[in-house]
Amino acid sequence: MRYLDVAEQLRERLARGEVGPGEPMPSESTLARETGASRVTVRRALEELRAQGLVTSRQGSGWFVAADPVRQTLGRVTTIEAAVAAAGASPDRRVLEFGFERADGVVADALGLEGGAEVLRVRRVNLADGAPFALVTVWVPATLGASLSRRDVEQAPLYDLLPLSGVSLGRAVQWIGADLASAEEAELLGVARPAALVACRRITRDVDDRPVLYSEHRYPASRTTFEIEFPSVAFTGAAPSSGARHG
């Protein structure tokens, strides 16, 4: 198929470093002229590269070479902004929803509340160098969110805001899995369906071990990676059977 030939040409250009990570690709019309293909064929080729995680698209801005994944270290609690900044990118946030609601069963259990208790719910998109990086939804008990405004959560993470309300943050537990992006998530994150997501859930507690924040994070799989360092590689499993050899 012609578009696959064009995709291969563009893949070779990326491999040679003609356009660096995070940088804009030439326009579709320019690529059509350079490859001798139609714009429709070029667009299909770019969509093929996007499905492979090599390029991304931004509405109204065109196509960009996919940036290197942001590395997030497990074992310590940090904010998405801090992880993005540590990767050398510029962090930003866009709040999509802010309001008080009745907690469903999952949220109530996570926060140790009775079903239907009032909570503050904040949904936002985190950006890295202006591109969507994560879709995050956060819930806090209404008693802790009562003093917060939409402007507050537009300007700072809740990890920075809660201590200002007298909350001393303690430990957190996080679960990491995988999922596929819904149509809405794909649009908000600038990915094409079917797109794999890294799906995280986190419960943060205060120093008295009371849950104060529950969050769900959705990352395009090509844009972040989680790392953990094991202090020891001592084998703790069952002893190998006689004659078995392990590397």
d(CA 46, CA 50) in angstroms, rounded, equals 6
246, pLDDT greater than 50: no
Q: How does pLDDT run across 105-124, given as a tens digit for each residue?
A: 999 999 999 989 999 999 99
Identify the residue whose tokens are 């990352």: 219
Confidence of residue 59 (pLDDT cuts 50, 70, 90): low
Looking at residue 1, what is its pLDDT? 61
Give the model's pLDDT for residue 241: 54
Per-residue pLDDT of 41-50, as tens digits, reads 999 899 888 8
Confidence of residue 236 (pLDDT cuts 50, 70, 90): low
- What integer pLDDT is reported at residue 175 of this predicted model? 94
Residue 202, pLDDT above cutoff 90: yes
**Model confidence over 147-179: pLDDT tens digits?**
999 999 999 999 999 999 899 999 999 999 999
> 79: burial class by Cβ within 10 Å (0-12, 13-18, 19+)?
middle
Mean pLDDT, range 138-145, rounded to an integer = 96
Cα–Cα dist 174/202, whole Å: 4
Tokens of 202: 């986190």
Distance CA 126, CA 159 (A): 15
In sequence order, what DSSP letters do the residues of 104-117 get, joined into one string? -HHHHHHHT--TT-
173 or 53: which leads in pLDDT: 173
pLDDT over 90 (residue 136): yes
Tell me what the mean pLDDT of segment 189-211 comes to. Answer: 90
pLDDT digits (tens, 9 = 90+) for 88-103: 788 999 999 999 999 9
Domains of the chain: 2-65 (1.10.10.10), 70-227 (3.40.1410.10)
pLDDT level of residue 240 (50, 70, 90 thresholds): low
The model's confidence at residue 218, banded by pLDDT at 50, 70 and 90, is very high
On average, the pLDDT of the chain sits at 86
118 burial via Cβ count (<10 Å: 0-12, 13-18, 19+)? middle
Q: Could you tell me what percentage of the chain is helix, strand and coil, using 3-state DSSP and rounding each to the nearest 5?
A: 30, 35, 35
Q: What was the pLDDT predicted at 233?
A: 66
Amino acid at 9: Q
Query: Which of 30-34, 159-163, 189-193, 207-211 is least confident?
Result: 189-193
Query: Of 57, 136, 50, 49, which is closest to residue 92 (Cα–Cα)?
Result: 136
Cis peptide before 91 (omega within 30 of 0): no
